[in-house]
Structure 1
Protein backbone atom coordinates (compact mmCIF):
# COMPACT_ATOMS: atom_id res chain seq x y z
CA UNK A 1 0.00 0.00 0.00
CA UNK A 2 2.73 2.45 0.97
CA UNK A 3 4.65 1.58 -2.20
CA UNK A 4 1.59 2.41 -4.32
CA UNK A 5 0.88 5.60 -2.40
CA UNK A 6 4.43 6.91 -2.66
CA UNK A 7 4.67 9.96 -4.93
CA UNK A 8 8.00 10.74 -6.64
CA UNK A 9 7.23 14.45 -6.52
CA UNK A 10 4.66 15.61 -3.96
CA UNK A 11 1.81 17.83 -5.23
CA UNK A 12 2.79 21.49 -5.35
CA UNK A 13 -0.66 22.99 -4.70
CA UNK A 14 -4.01 22.13 -3.13
CA UNK A 15 -5.77 21.31 -6.39
CA UNK A 16 -3.04 18.89 -7.46
CA UNK A 17 -3.13 17.23 -4.04
CA UNK A 18 -6.90 16.69 -4.20
CA UNK A 19 -6.62 15.23 -7.71
CA UNK A 20 -3.98 12.78 -6.49
CA UNK A 21 -6.10 11.77 -3.49
CA UNK A 22 -9.06 11.07 -5.77
CA UNK A 23 -6.94 9.02 -8.15
CA UNK A 24 -5.58 6.81 -5.37
CA UNK A 25 -8.52 6.70 -2.98
CA UNK A 26 -9.88 3.31 -4.05
CA UNK A 27 -6.47 1.68 -3.56
CA UNK A 28 -5.83 3.21 -0.13
CA UNK A 29 -6.14 1.40 3.19
CA UNK A 30 -9.29 2.04 5.21
CA UNK A 31 -7.38 4.37 7.54
CA UNK A 32 -5.94 6.39 4.67
CA UNK A 33 -9.40 6.60 3.09
CA UNK A 34 -10.79 8.06 6.34
CA UNK A 35 -7.94 10.57 6.39
CA UNK A 36 -8.60 11.46 2.75
CA UNK A 37 -12.29 12.07 3.39
CA UNK A 38 -11.52 14.34 6.34
CA UNK A 39 -8.93 16.34 4.37
CA UNK A 40 -11.30 16.89 1.43
CA UNK A 41 -14.27 17.70 3.65
CA UNK A 42 -12.53 20.08 6.05
CA UNK A 43 -9.75 21.97 4.24
CA UNK A 44 -10.18 25.11 6.34
CA UNK A 45 -9.89 23.23 9.62
CA UNK A 46 -6.88 21.31 8.30
CA UNK A 47 -5.21 24.64 7.58
CA UNK A 48 -5.52 26.02 11.11
CA UNK A 49 -5.55 22.98 13.42
CA UNK A 50 -2.60 21.00 14.77
CA UNK A 51 -2.12 17.44 13.57
CA UNK A 52 -2.94 16.21 17.08
CA UNK A 53 -6.24 18.12 17.08
CA UNK A 54 -7.15 16.83 13.61
CA UNK A 55 -6.25 13.28 14.61
CA UNK A 56 -8.40 13.53 17.72
CA UNK A 57 -11.39 14.66 15.67
CA UNK A 58 -10.93 11.70 13.32
CA UNK A 59 -10.17 9.26 16.13
CA UNK A 60 -7.04 8.24 14.24
CA UNK A 61 -3.52 8.39 15.70
CA UNK A 62 -1.50 11.42 14.65
CA UNK A 63 1.30 9.20 13.39
CA UNK A 64 -1.06 7.90 10.69
CA UNK A 65 -1.46 11.43 9.35
CA UNK A 66 2.32 11.81 9.26
CA UNK A 67 2.72 8.51 7.38
CA UNK A 68 -0.09 9.50 5.00
CA UNK A 69 1.76 12.72 4.12
CA UNK A 70 5.05 10.87 3.71
CA UNK A 71 3.38 8.34 1.41
CA UNK A 72 2.45 11.25 -0.85
CA UNK A 73 6.06 12.42 -0.96
CA UNK A 74 6.11 15.01 1.82
CA UNK A 75 8.61 15.03 4.67
CA UNK A 76 5.77 15.20 7.17
CA UNK A 77 2.25 16.44 7.78
CA UNK A 78 3.29 20.08 8.28
CA UNK A 79 4.62 20.21 4.73
CA UNK A 80 1.31 18.87 3.40
CA UNK A 81 -0.59 21.31 5.64
CA UNK A 82 1.11 24.27 3.95
CA UNK A 83 -0.97 23.62 0.83
CA UNK A 84 -4.17 23.98 2.84
CA UNK A 85 -2.88 27.18 4.44
CA UNK A 86 -2.08 28.70 1.05
CA UNK A 87 -5.56 27.83 -0.15
CA UNK A 88 -7.11 29.51 2.87
CA UNK A 89 -5.09 32.67 2.26
CA UNK A 90 -6.90 33.12 -1.07
CA UNK A 91 -10.36 32.80 0.52
CA UNK A 92 -12.64 35.71 1.30
CA UNK A 93 -10.92 38.49 3.30
CA UNK A 94 -11.13 37.85 7.01
CA UNK A 95 -12.37 34.29 6.63
CA UNK A 96 -9.34 32.75 8.33
CA UNK A 97 -9.74 35.10 11.28
CA UNK A 98 -13.44 34.27 11.59
CA UNK A 99 -12.67 30.56 11.49
CA UNK A 100 -10.07 30.88 14.24
CA UNK A 101 -12.51 32.81 16.43
CA UNK A 102 -15.19 30.18 15.86
CA UNK A 103 -12.86 27.31 16.73
CA UNK A 104 -11.66 29.10 19.84
CA UNK A 105 -15.19 29.83 21.01
CA UNK A 106 -16.30 26.23 20.51
CA UNK A 107 -13.26 24.72 22.19
CA UNK A 108 -13.41 27.00 25.22
CA UNK A 109 -17.11 26.58 25.91
CA UNK A 110 -17.88 26.05 29.59
CA UNK A 111 -21.62 26.72 29.55
CA UNK A 112 -23.63 23.48 29.37
CA UNK A 113 -27.10 25.02 29.55
CA UNK A 114 -29.83 24.30 27.00
CA UNK A 115 -29.21 27.67 25.39
CA UNK A 116 -25.53 26.85 24.96
CA UNK A 117 -26.44 23.92 22.69
CA UNK A 118 -28.48 26.26 20.49
CA UNK A 119 -25.59 28.72 20.49
CA UNK A 120 -23.10 26.05 19.43
CA UNK A 121 -25.32 24.69 16.67
CA UNK A 122 -25.89 28.17 15.25
CA UNK A 123 -22.15 28.87 15.24
CA UNK A 124 -21.46 25.62 13.43
CA UNK A 125 -24.21 26.34 10.90
CA UNK A 126 -22.67 29.74 10.21
CA UNK A 127 -19.35 28.02 9.54
CA UNK A 128 -21.01 25.43 7.28
CA UNK A 129 -22.87 28.06 5.27
CA UNK A 130 -19.75 30.19 4.86
CA UNK A 131 -17.77 27.12 3.82
CA UNK A 132 -20.40 26.18 1.23
CA UNK A 133 -20.37 29.72 -0.16
CA UNK A 134 -16.60 29.54 -0.58
CA UNK A 135 -16.70 26.13 -2.28
CA UNK A 136 -19.70 26.42 -4.63
CA UNK A 137 -18.88 27.56 -8.15
CA UNK A 138 -21.03 29.74 -10.35
CA UNK A 139 -20.54 27.30 -13.24
CA UNK A 140 -21.88 24.34 -11.24
CA UNK A 141 -24.94 26.30 -10.12
CA UNK A 142 -25.66 27.41 -13.68
CA UNK A 143 -25.27 23.87 -15.04
CA UNK A 144 -27.58 22.43 -12.37
CA UNK A 145 -30.26 25.03 -13.06
CA UNK A 146 -29.98 24.37 -16.80
CA UNK A 147 -30.52 20.66 -16.21
CA UNK A 148 -33.53 21.26 -13.97
CA UNK A 149 -35.06 23.75 -16.39
CA UNK A 150 -34.82 21.53 -19.48
CA UNK A 151 -35.66 18.21 -17.81
CA UNK A 152 -38.93 16.62 -18.80
CA UNK A 153 -39.34 15.09 -15.34
CA UNK A 154 -37.14 15.69 -12.30
CA UNK A 155 -36.72 12.58 -10.17
CA UNK A 156 -35.69 13.12 -6.55
CA UNK A 157 -34.14 10.61 -4.16
CA UNK A 158 -32.84 11.04 -0.64
CA UNK A 159 -33.31 8.78 2.34
CA UNK A 160 -32.77 8.88 6.08
CA UNK A 161 -31.33 12.25 7.06
CA UNK A 162 -31.34 13.40 3.42
CA UNK A 163 -35.10 13.01 3.12
CA UNK A 164 -36.02 16.58 4.28
CA UNK A 165 -33.73 18.04 1.61
CA UNK A 166 -35.51 16.35 -1.31
CA UNK A 167 -38.90 17.01 0.28
CA UNK A 168 -38.14 20.73 0.29
CA UNK A 169 -36.93 20.55 -3.29
CA UNK A 170 -40.08 18.70 -4.36
CA UNK A 171 -42.22 21.37 -2.74
CA UNK A 172 -40.38 24.21 -4.46
CA UNK A 173 -40.31 22.67 -7.92
CA UNK A 174 -43.95 21.59 -7.70
CA UNK A 175 -45.01 25.13 -6.83
CA UNK A 176 -43.11 26.30 -9.91
CA UNK A 177 -45.16 23.91 -12.05
CA UNK A 178 -42.19 21.64 -12.73
CA UNK A 179 -43.03 17.96 -13.14
CA UNK A 180 -41.15 16.06 -10.44
CA UNK A 181 -41.38 12.68 -8.80
CA UNK A 182 -40.06 11.70 -5.39
CA UNK A 183 -38.57 8.21 -5.32
CA UNK A 184 -39.92 7.35 -1.90
CA UNK A 185 -38.55 4.29 -0.12
CA UNK A 186 -42.08 3.43 1.05
CA UNK A 187 -43.48 0.34 -0.65
CA UNK A 188 -40.08 -0.77 -1.92
CA UNK A 189 -40.70 0.57 -5.44
CA UNK A 190 -38.15 3.39 -5.63
CA UNK A 191 -35.58 1.35 -7.55
CA UNK A 192 -38.19 -0.01 -9.97
CA UNK A 193 -39.71 3.44 -10.64
CA UNK A 194 -36.21 4.83 -11.18
CA UNK A 195 -35.74 2.40 -14.05
CA UNK A 196 -38.40 4.30 -16.01
CA UNK A 197 -36.16 7.39 -16.16
CA UNK A 198 -35.06 8.54 -19.61
CA UNK A 199 -32.09 10.64 -20.80
CA UNK A 200 -34.37 13.66 -21.18
CA UNK A 201 -35.18 13.46 -17.46
CA UNK A 202 -33.00 14.42 -14.49
CA UNK A 203 -32.15 12.70 -11.24
CA UNK A 204 -31.32 14.78 -8.17
CA UNK A 205 -29.71 12.49 -5.59
CA UNK A 206 -28.92 13.56 -2.02
CA UNK A 207 -26.89 11.38 0.30
CA UNK A 208 -24.63 11.92 3.30
CA UNK A 209 -22.66 9.56 5.52
CA UNK A 210 -23.53 6.80 5.98
CA UNK A 211 -24.71 6.65 2.40
CA UNK A 212 -28.06 4.95 1.79
CA UNK A 213 -27.46 1.89 -0.40
CA UNK A 214 -30.59 2.38 -2.51
CA UNK A 215 -29.65 5.98 -3.32
CA UNK A 216 -26.19 4.89 -4.47
CA UNK A 217 -27.64 2.05 -6.56
CA UNK A 218 -30.27 4.26 -8.21
CA UNK A 219 -27.62 6.84 -9.08
CA UNK A 220 -25.41 4.18 -10.65
CA UNK A 221 -28.29 2.77 -12.72
CA UNK A 222 -29.30 6.26 -13.84
CA UNK A 223 -25.73 6.96 -14.95
CA UNK A 224 -25.71 3.73 -16.99
CA UNK A 225 -29.04 4.72 -18.60
CA UNK A 226 -27.66 8.09 -19.67
CA UNK A 227 -29.75 10.12 -17.22
CA UNK A 228 -28.01 13.31 -16.06
CA UNK A 229 -27.53 13.55 -12.30
CA UNK A 230 -27.24 16.47 -9.91
CA UNK A 231 -25.76 15.11 -6.70
CA UNK A 232 -25.62 16.72 -3.26
CA UNK A 233 -23.34 14.99 -0.82
CA UNK A 234 -20.78 15.65 1.89
CA UNK A 235 -17.58 14.87 0.00
CA UNK A 236 -16.04 14.67 -3.45
CA UNK A 237 -15.17 11.11 -2.38
CA UNK A 238 -18.83 10.22 -1.82
CA UNK A 239 -20.03 7.06 -3.65
CA UNK A 240 -22.50 9.17 -5.66
CA UNK A 241 -19.80 11.62 -6.76
CA UNK A 242 -18.60 9.39 -9.60
CA UNK A 243 -22.06 9.25 -11.17
CA UNK A 244 -22.77 12.99 -11.00
CA UNK A 245 -23.01 15.37 -13.93
CA UNK A 246 -22.80 18.10 -11.30
CA UNK A 247 -21.70 17.52 -7.72
CA UNK A 248 -22.28 19.86 -4.81
CA UNK A 249 -20.02 18.73 -1.98
CA UNK A 250 -21.38 20.24 1.23
CA UNK A 251 -18.97 19.18 3.99
CA UNK A 252 -20.35 18.38 7.40
CA UNK A 253 -18.66 19.96 10.38
CA UNK A 254 -18.33 17.97 13.57
CA UNK A 255 -21.42 17.67 15.72
CA UNK A 256 -21.64 15.73 18.95
CA UNK A 257 -25.10 14.33 18.14
CA UNK A 258 -27.10 16.27 15.57
CA UNK A 259 -25.80 16.93 12.06
CA UNK A 260 -27.28 20.08 10.64
CA UNK A 261 -29.03 20.37 7.27
CA UNK A 262 -28.73 24.16 7.13
CA UNK A 263 -26.23 24.21 4.26
CA UNK A 264 -27.89 21.66 1.91
CA UNK A 265 -31.32 23.20 2.65
CA UNK A 266 -29.97 26.61 1.70
CA UNK A 267 -28.45 25.15 -1.46
CA UNK A 268 -31.68 23.58 -2.72
CA UNK A 269 -33.59 26.77 -1.96
CA UNK A 270 -31.04 28.69 -4.05
CA UNK A 271 -31.52 26.24 -6.92
CA UNK A 272 -35.30 26.64 -6.70
CA UNK A 273 -35.08 30.43 -6.69
CA UNK A 274 -32.73 30.34 -9.67
CA UNK A 275 -35.12 28.09 -11.60
CA UNK A 276 -37.99 30.46 -10.77
CA UNK A 277 -35.93 33.33 -12.15
CA UNK A 278 -35.28 31.41 -15.36
CA UNK A 279 -38.98 30.75 -15.75
CA UNK A 280 -39.57 34.50 -15.37
CA UNK A 281 -42.56 34.12 -13.13
CA UNK A 282 -44.21 37.44 -12.35
CA UNK A 283 -45.23 36.44 -8.85
CA UNK A 284 -43.57 34.01 -6.45
CA UNK A 285 -45.46 30.73 -6.04
CA UNK A 286 -47.65 30.54 -2.98
CA UNK A 287 -49.49 27.80 -1.17
CA UNK A 288 -53.25 28.22 -1.63
CA UNK A 289 -54.82 29.52 1.56
CA UNK A 290 -57.54 27.33 3.05
CA UNK A 291 -60.21 29.35 4.81
CA UNK A 292 -63.13 28.24 6.92
CA UNK A 293 -66.70 28.54 5.79
Structure 2
Protein backbone atom coordinates (compact mmCIF):
# COMPACT_ATOMS: atom_id res chain seq x y z
CA UNK A 1 0.00 0.00 0.00
CA UNK A 2 2.86 2.40 0.82
CA UNK A 3 4.27 2.03 -2.67
CA UNK A 4 0.89 2.73 -4.20
CA UNK A 5 0.47 5.84 -2.04
CA UNK A 6 3.89 7.05 -3.19
CA UNK A 7 2.91 6.63 -6.83
CA UNK A 8 -0.31 8.56 -6.23
CA UNK A 9 1.65 11.30 -4.45
CA UNK A 10 3.66 11.87 -7.60
CA UNK A 11 0.50 12.93 -9.42
CA UNK A 12 -1.26 15.07 -6.80
CA UNK A 13 -3.54 17.38 -8.79
CA UNK A 14 -3.74 21.08 -8.14
CA UNK A 15 -7.31 21.62 -9.29
CA UNK A 16 -10.74 20.24 -8.50
CA UNK A 17 -11.20 18.46 -11.82
CA UNK A 18 -7.90 16.66 -11.32
CA UNK A 19 -8.89 15.57 -7.82
CA UNK A 20 -12.20 14.14 -9.05
CA UNK A 21 -10.48 12.35 -11.94
CA UNK A 22 -7.88 10.85 -9.61
CA UNK A 23 -10.50 9.70 -7.11
CA UNK A 24 -12.56 8.20 -9.93
CA UNK A 25 -9.52 6.39 -11.29
CA UNK A 26 -8.68 4.85 -7.91
CA UNK A 27 -12.24 4.35 -6.65
CA UNK A 28 -12.54 0.62 -7.39
CA UNK A 29 -9.36 -0.08 -5.39
CA UNK A 30 -10.42 1.86 -2.28
CA UNK A 31 -11.73 0.33 0.92
CA UNK A 32 -15.46 0.55 1.62
CA UNK A 33 -14.83 3.38 4.10
CA UNK A 34 -12.75 5.37 1.63
CA UNK A 35 -15.35 4.79 -1.09
CA UNK A 36 -17.96 6.30 1.21
CA UNK A 37 -15.76 9.36 1.70
CA UNK A 38 -15.06 9.58 -2.02
CA UNK A 39 -18.76 9.61 -2.84
CA UNK A 40 -19.44 12.34 -0.30
CA UNK A 41 -16.57 14.57 -1.45
CA UNK A 42 -17.45 14.37 -5.13
CA UNK A 43 -21.17 14.86 -4.56
CA UNK A 44 -20.83 17.78 -2.12
CA UNK A 45 -17.87 19.89 -3.33
CA UNK A 46 -19.22 23.18 -1.96
CA UNK A 47 -19.75 21.73 1.51
CA UNK A 48 -16.20 20.33 1.45
CA UNK A 49 -14.84 23.80 0.68
CA UNK A 50 -16.83 25.68 3.31
CA UNK A 51 -17.32 23.45 6.34
CA UNK A 52 -15.05 22.17 9.11
CA UNK A 53 -13.55 18.71 9.08
CA UNK A 54 -15.67 17.72 12.11
CA UNK A 55 -18.88 18.80 10.39
CA UNK A 56 -17.92 17.04 7.18
CA UNK A 57 -17.01 13.85 9.03
CA UNK A 58 -20.38 13.84 10.78
CA UNK A 59 -22.22 14.32 7.49
CA UNK A 60 -20.12 11.63 5.87
CA UNK A 61 -20.73 9.19 8.73
CA UNK A 62 -17.07 8.75 9.56
CA UNK A 63 -14.33 10.08 11.90
CA UNK A 64 -12.25 13.21 11.10
CA UNK A 65 -9.09 11.11 11.18
CA UNK A 66 -10.49 9.05 8.31
CA UNK A 67 -10.75 12.19 6.20
CA UNK A 68 -7.11 12.96 6.99
CA UNK A 69 -6.02 9.44 6.00
CA UNK A 70 -8.10 9.66 2.84
CA UNK A 71 -6.35 12.88 1.81
CA UNK A 72 -2.92 11.41 2.60
CA UNK A 73 -3.73 8.30 0.58
CA UNK A 74 -3.98 10.55 -2.47
CA UNK A 75 -0.71 12.29 -1.73
CA UNK A 76 -1.96 15.39 0.10
CA UNK A 77 -0.21 16.45 3.29
CA UNK A 78 -3.52 16.37 5.14
CA UNK A 79 -7.18 17.16 4.78
CA UNK A 80 -6.58 20.93 4.86
CA UNK A 81 -4.36 20.53 1.79
CA UNK A 82 -7.09 18.61 -0.04
CA UNK A 83 -9.76 21.07 1.13
CA UNK A 84 -7.77 23.98 -0.29
CA UNK A 85 -8.30 22.58 -3.80
CA UNK A 86 -12.07 22.63 -3.23
CA UNK A 87 -11.80 26.18 -1.84
CA UNK A 88 -9.93 27.32 -4.95
CA UNK A 89 -12.78 26.00 -7.06
CA UNK A 90 -15.21 28.15 -5.05
CA UNK A 91 -13.01 31.22 -5.34
CA UNK A 92 -12.52 30.98 -9.10
CA UNK A 93 -16.01 29.87 -10.15
CA UNK A 94 -19.42 31.44 -10.03
CA UNK A 95 -21.20 31.23 -6.67
CA UNK A 96 -21.81 27.62 -5.72
CA UNK A 97 -24.87 25.70 -4.62
CA UNK A 98 -24.68 26.60 -0.93
CA UNK A 99 -23.98 30.27 -1.61
CA UNK A 100 -26.99 30.49 -3.90
CA UNK A 101 -29.20 28.85 -1.31
CA UNK A 102 -28.07 31.30 1.37
CA UNK A 103 -28.62 34.32 -0.89
CA UNK A 104 -32.03 33.13 -2.01
CA UNK A 105 -33.09 32.25 1.52
CA UNK A 106 -32.14 35.73 2.65
CA UNK A 107 -34.10 37.29 -0.23
CA UNK A 108 -37.21 35.22 0.43
CA UNK A 109 -37.06 35.29 4.23
CA UNK A 110 -39.43 38.26 4.43
CA UNK A 111 -42.11 36.12 2.79
CA UNK A 112 -41.69 33.07 4.98
CA UNK A 113 -43.96 32.07 7.80
CA UNK A 114 -44.27 29.15 10.13
CA UNK A 115 -45.61 25.82 8.97
CA UNK A 116 -46.23 24.50 5.48
CA UNK A 117 -45.61 27.76 3.67
CA UNK A 118 -42.13 28.06 5.18
CA UNK A 119 -41.31 24.54 4.04
CA UNK A 120 -42.64 25.40 0.58
CA UNK A 121 -40.34 28.43 0.40
CA UNK A 122 -37.36 26.29 1.41
CA UNK A 123 -38.10 23.79 -1.37
CA UNK A 124 -38.41 26.55 -3.95
CA UNK A 125 -35.08 28.02 -2.85
CA UNK A 126 -33.34 24.69 -3.33
CA UNK A 127 -34.97 24.16 -6.73
CA UNK A 128 -33.78 27.56 -7.97
CA UNK A 129 -30.26 26.88 -6.70
CA UNK A 130 -30.19 23.44 -8.31
CA UNK A 131 -31.31 24.85 -11.66
CA UNK A 132 -28.68 27.57 -11.54
CA UNK A 133 -26.03 24.97 -10.72
CA UNK A 134 -27.16 23.00 -13.78
CA UNK A 135 -26.12 25.91 -15.99
CA UNK A 136 -22.49 25.42 -14.97
CA UNK A 137 -22.30 21.63 -15.12
CA UNK A 138 -23.98 20.78 -18.45
CA UNK A 139 -21.88 21.26 -21.57
CA UNK A 140 -23.08 21.93 -25.09
CA UNK A 141 -20.84 19.11 -26.28
CA UNK A 142 -22.67 16.59 -24.10
CA UNK A 143 -26.07 17.83 -25.22
CA UNK A 144 -25.01 17.54 -28.86
CA UNK A 145 -23.57 14.07 -28.40
CA UNK A 146 -26.69 12.85 -26.59
CA UNK A 147 -28.93 14.33 -29.28
CA UNK A 148 -26.89 12.64 -32.00
CA UNK A 149 -27.32 9.26 -30.32
CA UNK A 150 -31.05 9.70 -29.68
CA UNK A 151 -31.77 11.00 -33.17
CA UNK A 152 -29.79 8.27 -34.91
CA UNK A 153 -30.76 5.20 -32.89
CA UNK A 154 -33.09 2.54 -34.27
CA UNK A 155 -34.74 2.34 -30.85
CA UNK A 156 -34.27 4.39 -27.69
CA UNK A 157 -34.52 2.31 -24.51
CA UNK A 158 -35.11 4.19 -21.26
CA UNK A 159 -34.48 2.82 -17.77
CA UNK A 160 -35.46 4.80 -14.68
CA UNK A 161 -37.02 3.48 -11.51
CA UNK A 162 -37.95 4.65 -8.01
CA UNK A 163 -37.77 8.46 -7.89
CA UNK A 164 -36.28 8.47 -11.42
CA UNK A 165 -39.38 6.90 -12.96
CA UNK A 166 -41.18 10.21 -13.69
CA UNK A 167 -38.01 11.49 -15.40
CA UNK A 168 -37.93 8.39 -17.60
CA UNK A 169 -41.64 8.74 -18.38
CA UNK A 170 -41.22 12.37 -19.44
CA UNK A 171 -38.38 11.46 -21.80
CA UNK A 172 -40.46 8.65 -23.26
CA UNK A 173 -43.30 11.11 -23.92
CA UNK A 174 -41.06 13.76 -25.51
CA UNK A 175 -39.21 11.35 -27.78
CA UNK A 176 -42.45 9.64 -28.83
CA UNK A 177 -43.83 13.01 -29.91
CA UNK A 178 -40.66 13.39 -32.00
CA UNK A 179 -41.62 10.10 -33.70
CA UNK A 180 -38.72 8.21 -32.18
CA UNK A 181 -39.19 4.50 -31.52
CA UNK A 182 -39.04 4.29 -27.71
CA UNK A 183 -39.15 1.41 -25.24
CA UNK A 184 -39.63 2.28 -21.58
CA UNK A 185 -38.09 -0.49 -19.49
CA UNK A 186 -40.92 -0.49 -16.98
CA UNK A 187 -40.34 -2.78 -13.96
CA UNK A 188 -43.99 -3.81 -13.84
CA UNK A 189 -44.38 -7.42 -14.90
CA UNK A 190 -40.77 -8.20 -14.04
CA UNK A 191 -39.63 -8.16 -17.68
CA UNK A 192 -37.40 -5.06 -17.77
CA UNK A 193 -34.11 -6.98 -17.96
CA UNK A 194 -35.53 -9.38 -20.55
CA UNK A 195 -36.75 -6.46 -22.67
CA UNK A 196 -33.32 -4.84 -22.33
CA UNK A 197 -31.74 -8.01 -23.72
CA UNK A 198 -33.21 -7.12 -27.13
CA UNK A 199 -31.02 -3.99 -27.40
CA UNK A 200 -28.43 -3.91 -30.18
CA UNK A 201 -25.52 -1.65 -31.03
CA UNK A 202 -27.85 0.29 -33.37
CA UNK A 203 -29.96 1.31 -30.36
CA UNK A 204 -29.22 3.55 -27.38
CA UNK A 205 -29.96 3.21 -23.68
CA UNK A 206 -30.79 6.18 -21.48
CA UNK A 207 -30.24 5.11 -17.86
CA UNK A 208 -31.35 7.34 -14.99
CA UNK A 209 -30.44 6.63 -11.37
CA UNK A 210 -29.53 8.61 -8.28
CA UNK A 211 -28.40 7.40 -4.90
CA UNK A 212 -29.55 4.93 -3.77
CA UNK A 213 -29.23 3.51 -7.28
CA UNK A 214 -32.00 1.20 -8.49
CA UNK A 215 -30.31 -2.19 -8.82
CA UNK A 216 -32.23 -3.19 -11.95
CA UNK A 217 -31.24 0.02 -13.74
CA UNK A 218 -27.58 -0.57 -12.88
CA UNK A 219 -27.82 -4.16 -14.09
CA UNK A 220 -29.42 -3.08 -17.38
CA UNK A 221 -26.72 -0.43 -17.91
CA UNK A 222 -23.93 -2.92 -17.26
CA UNK A 223 -25.52 -5.42 -19.63
CA UNK A 224 -25.82 -2.75 -22.33
CA UNK A 225 -22.18 -1.76 -21.93
CA UNK A 226 -21.07 -5.40 -22.18
CA UNK A 227 -22.80 -5.59 -25.58
CA UNK A 228 -21.47 -2.20 -26.77
CA UNK A 229 -24.90 -0.53 -26.70
CA UNK A 230 -24.39 3.25 -26.49
CA UNK A 231 -25.29 4.58 -23.04
CA UNK A 232 -26.49 8.04 -22.02
CA UNK A 233 -26.48 8.27 -18.22
CA UNK A 234 -28.14 10.77 -15.88
CA UNK A 235 -26.86 10.36 -12.35
CA UNK A 236 -25.44 12.24 -9.38
CA UNK A 237 -21.67 11.86 -9.65
CA UNK A 238 -18.73 10.45 -11.56
CA UNK A 239 -18.57 7.70 -8.92
CA UNK A 240 -22.07 6.47 -9.72
CA UNK A 241 -22.22 2.87 -10.99
CA UNK A 242 -23.69 4.28 -14.22
CA UNK A 243 -20.74 6.60 -14.85
CA UNK A 244 -18.04 4.09 -15.70
CA UNK A 245 -19.73 2.80 -18.86
CA UNK A 246 -21.45 5.98 -20.07
CA UNK A 247 -20.78 7.28 -23.57
CA UNK A 248 -22.42 10.54 -22.49
CA UNK A 249 -22.54 11.36 -18.78
CA UNK A 250 -24.70 14.03 -17.16
CA UNK A 251 -24.14 14.52 -13.44
CA UNK A 252 -26.60 16.42 -11.25
CA UNK A 253 -25.18 16.86 -7.77
CA UNK A 254 -27.65 16.48 -4.93
CA UNK A 255 -26.95 18.62 -1.92
CA UNK A 256 -28.44 16.18 0.56
CA UNK A 257 -30.46 12.99 0.76
CA UNK A 258 -33.89 13.80 2.14
CA UNK A 259 -37.49 12.85 1.50
CA UNK A 260 -38.10 16.13 -0.31
CA UNK A 261 -35.33 15.81 -2.92
CA UNK A 262 -36.45 17.73 -5.98
CA UNK A 263 -36.75 16.59 -9.59
CA UNK A 264 -36.60 20.14 -10.96
CA UNK A 265 -33.03 19.92 -12.26
CA UNK A 266 -33.20 16.45 -13.88
CA UNK A 267 -36.60 17.28 -15.42
CA UNK A 268 -35.14 20.46 -16.90
CA UNK A 269 -32.15 18.52 -18.23
CA UNK A 270 -34.40 15.90 -19.85
CA UNK A 271 -36.36 18.62 -21.64
CA UNK A 272 -33.09 20.18 -22.82
CA UNK A 273 -31.89 16.83 -24.20
CA UNK A 274 -35.22 16.35 -25.98
CA UNK A 275 -35.02 19.86 -27.44
CA UNK A 276 -31.46 19.23 -28.66
CA UNK A 277 -32.75 16.05 -30.30
CA UNK A 278 -35.58 18.00 -31.95
CA UNK A 279 -33.06 20.48 -33.34
CA UNK A 280 -31.07 17.64 -34.84
CA UNK A 281 -34.20 16.04 -36.33
CA UNK A 282 -35.51 19.34 -37.71
CA UNK A 283 -32.42 21.01 -39.19
CA UNK A 284 -34.39 22.97 -41.79
CA UNK A 285 -37.15 24.22 -39.50
CA UNK A 286 -38.17 27.78 -40.40
CA UNK A 287 -38.73 28.55 -36.75
CA UNK A 288 -37.24 27.20 -33.55
CA UNK A 289 -37.58 23.39 -33.59
CA UNK A 290 -40.38 22.24 -31.34
CA UNK A 291 -41.86 19.13 -29.78
CA UNK A 292 -45.56 18.61 -30.60
CA UNK A 293 -48.03 17.42 -27.98
CA UNK A 294 -50.78 14.81 -27.94
CA UNK A 295 -53.36 17.58 -27.46
CA UNK A 296 -52.20 19.30 -30.64
CA UNK A 297 -52.63 16.06 -32.57
CA UNK A 298 -56.18 15.63 -31.30
CA UNK A 299 -57.09 19.20 -32.21
CA UNK A 300 -55.73 18.78 -35.76
CA UNK A 301 -57.85 15.65 -36.26
CA UNK A 302 -61.00 17.53 -35.18
CA UNK A 303 -60.50 20.27 -37.74
Question: Please, what TM-score do these two structures have when normalized by structure 2?
Answer: 0.87
Do the aligned partners of 2:100 and 2:129 also contact (CA within 8 Å) in 1? no
1:165 Cα deviation (Å)? 0.5
Q: Deviations 1:20-59 (Å, cap 9, x if unpaired)?
A: 1112111212221111111111222222222222223223
1:277-288 matches, cutoff 5 A: 277-280=279-282, 284-288=291-295
1:287 Cα deviation (Å)? 2.1
Count of residue pairs brought into register by the alignment: 288
- The answer on 1:13 being equivalent to 2:34 is no
Aligned with residue 124 of structure 1, among 123, 126, 134: 126
Report the CA distance shift for 1:2/1:188 in structure 2 as closer, same or farther (over 3 A).
farther
Aligned residue in 2 for 1:266 = 268
Report the CA distance shift for 1:105/1:82 in structure 2 as closer, same or farther (over 3 A).
same
Aligned with residue 32 of structure 1, among 27, 34, 39: 34
Report the CA distance shift for 1:48/1:273 in structure 2 as closer, same or farther (over 3 A).
same
Aligned residue in 1 for 2:191 = 189
1:141-160 matches, cutoff 5 A: 141-160=143-162
Question: RMSD in angstroms over aligned alpha carbons?
Answer: 2.5
- Distance in 2 separating the partners of 1:163 and 1:70: 40
- The answer on 1:50 being equivalent to 2:68 is no
Q: Deviations 1:82-121 (Å, cap 9, x if unpaired)?
A: 11122223323xx15x7436248879x9965111111111
Do the aligned partners of 1:5 and 1:28 also contact (CA within 8 Å) in 2? no
Aligned with residue 251 of structure 2, among 249, 252, 259: 249
- Distance in 1 separating the partners of 2:204 and 2:17: 29
State the secondary structure of the residue aligned to 2:295.
Answer: coil
Do the aligned partners of 1:5 and 1:24 also contact (CA within 8 Å) in 2? no
Aligned residue in 2 for 1:102 = 101
- Distance in 1 separating the partners of 2:84 and 2:132: 22
State the secondary structure of the residue aligned to 2:13.
Answer: coil
- Distance in 2 separating the partners of 1:240 and 1:139: 19
More helix by proportion, 1 or 2? 2
Report the CA distance shift for 1:87/1:101 in structure 2 as closer, same or farther (over 3 A).
closer
Do the aligned partners of 1:204 and 1:229 also contact (CA within 8 Å) in 2? yes
- The answer on 1:179 being equivalent to 2:159 is no
Do the aligned partners of 1:48 and 1:100 also contact (CA within 8 Å) in 2? no
- Distance in 2 separating the partners of 1:113 and 1:59: 30
Do the aligned partners of 1:230 and 1:246 also contact (CA within 8 Å) in 2? yes
Do the aligned partners of 1:91 and 1:134 also contact (CA within 8 Å) in 2? no
- Distance in 1 separating the partners of 2:263 and 2:275: 18
- The answer on 1:199 being equivalent to 2:198 is no
Uncovered stretches (5+) of structure 1, i.e. residues with no partner: none
1:278 Cα deviation (Å)? 2.0
1:127 Cα deviation (Å)? 2.2
Do the aligned partners of 2:9 and 2:76 also contact (CA within 8 Å) in 1? no
Uncovered stretches (5+) of structure 2, i.e. residues with no partner: none
